[in-house]
Structure 1
Amino acid sequence: MSRIGKRPVVIPNGVTANIDGKVLSVKGPKGTLTLGLSELVNYDLEDGSIAVTPANDSKAARSHWGMQRTLVSNLVEGVTGGFTKVLNITGVGYRAAAQGRNLKLQLGYSHDVDIAVPEGLEVKTPDQTTIEISGTDKQAVGQLAAEIRRWRKPEPYKGKGIRYRGEFIFRKEGKKK
């Protein structure tokens, strides 16, 4: 039994959900999101909530159950509050600047790294060493954050690189004489 899947997703005021065939669309104050529904799981749109249950007792249906409920929950949370990831840049000369729909990074390479910001996402740089990525789609926000972080992963000796806010990097001791 999925502990997550048992709980229905509560739909807050101002948010409407609609199941049309095999597509769930959720509309709220921040926009509209859609999700393709799995055939292994049943979705029941009741008054003020969406209940997710496995279609049968197979192992595949039970394994999809909790994940599909989480995806539905992320749709509702995305159109009401949105999602935000914050990246911190550590290193001498490393900096970031948001310029329109692009993000310009200086990460110690001989060239600047330009990253195009996809539609539906917003990138802010409150200071030169902080990047805030926000949007309604949790997967898109996390994907862009991972692509930015991939340019300079934090290294364990000096701690230089791009890390998520709150991420702990295990530091190693350098060479000894």
Structure 2
Amino acid sequence: MSRIGRKEIIIPENIEVIINVPEILVKGKRGELSYSISELIEVETKNKILKLTKKNTTQKAQAIHGLSRSIINNMIQGVSKGFEKKLIIQGVGYRSQMEGRNLILNMGYSHPVKIKPPEDINIKVENSTSIFISGINKERVGQIAATIRSVRPPEPYKGKGIRYENENVKRKIGKAGK
């Protein structure tokens, strides 16, 4: 039984949810997002409370029930508050900068790495070692953050590279001397 799928979603006052089966559209002050609901899930709304129910009890319906609820909840949070990820660059000579909307990373390679974000994602660089990624779509914000991190993931010996703000990198002990 999906515990997440059974939870009700409370819709804030400034958010508008339009259900046109199989599409659900969420509009808010930051923008609008849409999601295509599976035919195994039924969506009903009653005075600012959204509830998802399964049409049958198959394993696929179980899985999609919780997933759909999480995605719709993230859409509502995204158009009301938005999502943000922070990346920190560690290492001598590693830095980042903005060139228009593009992010330029100098990470010790022979060339600078250029990352072009999608239209709905904002990237901000602070003091060349902190990168802020924000947007209304949680999946896209996380994916762009993961793409930037993959340019130079933190290594275990000195901890150099790009890491998430609260990421804990397990450090290894180097060579033992004689």
On whether the aligned pair clears a TM of 0.5, the verdict is yes
SS of alignment partner, residue 87 of structure 1: strand
In the comparison of the two structures, how many residue pairs are matched? Answer: 177
Q: Deviations over 1:84-111 (max 9, x none)?
A: 0000000000001122210010000011
Amino acid at match of 1:3: R
SS of alignment partner, residue 44 of structure 2: strand
Q: Give structure 1 regions of 4+ aligned residues with deviation exceeding 4 angstroms.
A: none
State the alpha-carbon separation in 2 of the partners of residues 154 and 163 from structure 1: 6
Asked if 1:55 is matched to 2:75, the reply is no
Aligned match of 1:148: 148
Aligned match of 1:86: 86
Q: Deviations over 1:66-97 (max 9, x none)?
A: 11100000000000000000000000000011
Amino acid at match of 1:33: L
Amino acid at match of 1:121: I
Aligned match of 1:41: 41
Q: State the shift of 1:58 in Å.
A: 1.1
Aligned match of 2:176: 176
RMSD across aligned positions (CA): 0.8
Q: State the shift of 1:35 in Å.
A: 0.5
Asked if 1:30 is matched to 2:30, the reply is yes
Q: Deviations over 1:30-59 (max 9, x none)?
A: 011001111111111221021011111111
Q: State the shift of 1:12 in Å.
A: 0.2
SS of alignment partner, residue 13 of structure 1: coil
Aligned match of 1:103: 103
SS of alignment partner, residue 132 of structure 1: strand
State the alpha-carbon separation in 2 of the partners of residues 24 and 56 from structure 1: 21
State the alpha-carbon separation in 1 of the partners of residues 64 and 157 from structure 2: 41
SS of alignment partner, residue 123 of structure 1: strand
SS of alignment partner, residue 24 of structure 1: strand
Q: Which runs of 5+ in 2 are unaligned?
A: none
1:64-75 paired onto structure 2 within 5 Å: 64-75=64-75
Aligned match of 2:136: 136
Amino acid at match of 1:124: K
SS of alignment partner, residue 126 of structure 2: coil
Q: State the shift of 1:3 in Å.
A: 1.6
TM-score (norm 1): 0.98
State the alpha-carbon separation in 2 of the partners of residues 53 and 127 from structure 1: 48
Amino acid at match of 2:58: S
Aligned match of 1:5: 5
> Identity of paired residues, percent?
44
Q: Which runs of 5+ in 1 are unaligned?
A: none
State the alpha-carbon separation in 1 of the partners of residues 93 and 76 from structure 2: 40
Amino acid at match of 2:147: E
